[in-house]
Structure 1
Amino acid sequence: MASEAAEHVLSMEDLREVTAFAKACAQEALEIFEAERPQDARPRHALATAGEFARGGKRGKALRDAAWAALKAAKEAQPAAAEAARAAMAAAGAAYLHPLPNANQVKHILGSAAHAARAAELAGGDQAVGDERVTKAVRHATPALVDVLKRYPVASAGGGRVGELTRLLDAALRR
């Protein structure tokens, strides 16, 4: 493993792989947001821009703007819907994974899945639902995604339940 100070190479294909995974995980939570705020298209737009990038589109201002807009939507929503919007924000933000092997970067890889799992928990009222979503997220992961993940240290401590879900997913994917 490289030291904390040494960068590693991330190709555009690596970033597209991470973004595709993040988008797939967040997509499953979108209905939670839209059930509360059916007229608010910001999280859906963030997922659409993430999908465009994952399929070969440009990584630029539109992607960043869509991520910020989804975050703003999260701040205007109730807890379950807010977590679903954060999942969409994280999916669009996944394209900006940094090549420094820092444990905080794992959030760019797995944050969307963790927020989507937390949204499902809050909507369903049970932590077991979140654990099931983590298991489902593992099935979305490709060998290429796991390869990118393993270039980074394990997920950081903290972050409440979303952090816990991130660490559960991280551990499952590294096995």
Structure 2
Amino acid sequence: MKKYSKDDQVALSVWALDCAERVLPMFERSMPKDERPGNALRLGRQWVDTRVFRMPVIRGASLCAHAAAKAVKADKAACEAVHAAGQAVATAHVAQHAYGAACYALKAIIADRPDVAEQLVHDELSWQSAHLPGHLREEIMSRIVVEPRKKGLFITIEKGHGF
């Protein structure tokens, strides 16, 4: 597993939280009173600001966000968006969770607007790339794979050597 510096992990956390916040409205449309994913993002920002890490708090926030996905499993965009929040807060624990936040954000976009998914995913990938620190950009973006398939775009993470 690639080791990131603490500063890189913080930068990846900010990026992951930003990715998740961009798609959070897709969840909020379905569950406007459910605060679990928003709370996860707030706790992630708190960690970024304070660098105080308490595993039960981070894990609990991540698990609560992922549990919220069960409440909206019929709404794929909302479900993927809330998974992005769960991955984003977990980046405080392991930097590689940032990849998950970005990928789930892309999946939410695809599910929300399949009719124009290719353009929206292209735009989101451009935004994601532009918002990464330069020294991390190639490593991170080279592992996010977008593959056209019969049923639409497929998003995955290349977890090969060094992941």
Fold equivalence (TM over 0.5): yes
1:122 paired to 2:111: yes
**Number of the residue aligned with 1:102:** none
Going from structure 1 to structure 2, the CA distance change for 1:84 and 1:8 (only over 3 Å counts) comes to closer
- 1:82-101 matches, within 5 Å, as 82-97=79-94
Note the C-alpha offset of 1:56.
2.6
Identity over aligned pairs, percent: 24
Once the two structures are overlaid, the 10-residue window that deviates more, 39-48 or 10-19, is 10-19
Note the C-alpha offset of 1:96.
2.0
* Aligned counterparts of 1:154 and 1:120: Cα–Cα separation in 2: 19
> Deviation string for 1:74-101 (max 9, x for gaps)?
1221210000001001101112226xxx
**Number of the residue aligned with 2:127:** 136
- Normalized per residue, the structure richer in strand is 2
Query: TM (normalized to structure 2)?
Result: 0.78
| Aligned partners of 1:80 and 1:118 also within 8 Å | yes
**Number of the residue aligned with 1:64:** 59
> Deviation string for 1:70-125 (max 9, x for gaps)?
00011221210000001001101112226xxxxxx4xx232111111211121112
* Aligned counterparts of 1:14 and 1:121: Cα–Cα separation in 2: 28
1:26 to 20, 28, 53: 20
* Aligned counterparts of 2:53 and 2:98: Cα–Cα separation in 1: 16
Note the C-alpha offset of 1:144.
4.8
* Aligned counterparts of 1:49 and 1:145: Cα–Cα separation in 2: 24
| Aligned partners of 2:58 and 2:93 also within 8 Å | no
* Aligned counterparts of 1:33 and 1:8: Cα–Cα separation in 2: 32
Show structure 2 runs of 5+ residues with no match: 148-152
**What secondary structure sits across from 2:4 in the alignment?**
coil
Query: Match of 1:113, as an amino acid?
Result: A
* Aligned counterparts of 2:131 and 2:27: Cα–Cα separation in 1: 21
